[in-house]
Amino acid sequence: MTDEGKKPQHCEKELAQFIRSGATRRPDQAFGDYYTGRNASCALGAAYEGMYRLPRQVGGLRPTKDLEWFFDCLEGSLRKCPHGNDCHKTLSLAAIMVHLNDDHRWTREDIAQWLETLK
């Protein structure tokens, strides 16, 4: 395979760094959507913001396709919800991140810290 045909390999630790970087650009946390207003993003929205410089008003932008291409680990692995004994969900990494953000209301920093513990 040529170098052009290879997709870059990125790990969960890099994803955590992008979440932190994006969270500095939009300091409030969004729930139920990637972005809310000019100052809020969810964990996946923050990761996208950390990779790409986005306009302040992104209204309805859906970054999932770019994130899946850039981070094959988002859809290529199943993860158990780390919230605790009361939650037994096993989903793709992307879905678990949305679940932690929206359902358990984990902060983006908490999600980034959890990502750094994964192999």
36 part of a folded domain: yes
* The total number of structural domains that make up the chain: 1
CB 19 within 8 A of CB 47: yes
* Distance, CA of 28 to CA of 42 (rounded, Å): 9
Predicted confidence (pLDDT) per residue in 24-46, tens digit: 999 999 999 988 888 999 999 89
Residue 62 within any structural domain of the chain: yes
What's the pLDDT at 56? Answer: 65
For residues 41 and 35, is the Cβ–Cβ distance under 8 A? yes
**In this structure, is residue 3 part of a structural domain?**
no
Token pair for 88: 């037994």
Full domain range(s) for residue 18: 8-117
89 is a domain residue: yes
Any domain includes 82: yes
How do beta strands 40-41 and 90-92 pair?
unpaired
Q: 19 vs 66, which has greater pLDDT?
A: 19
Asked if residue 1 belongs to a domain, the reply is: no
Of 65-74, 81-90, 101-110, least confident by mean pLDDT is: 65-74
**Domain assignment of residue 2, yes or no:** no
Q: Is residue 47 part of a domain?
A: yes
Between CA 109 and CA 42, with CA 94 as vertex, the angle to 5 degrees is: 45
What is the sign, positive or negative, of the torsion defined by CA atoms of 111, 56, 50, 7?
positive
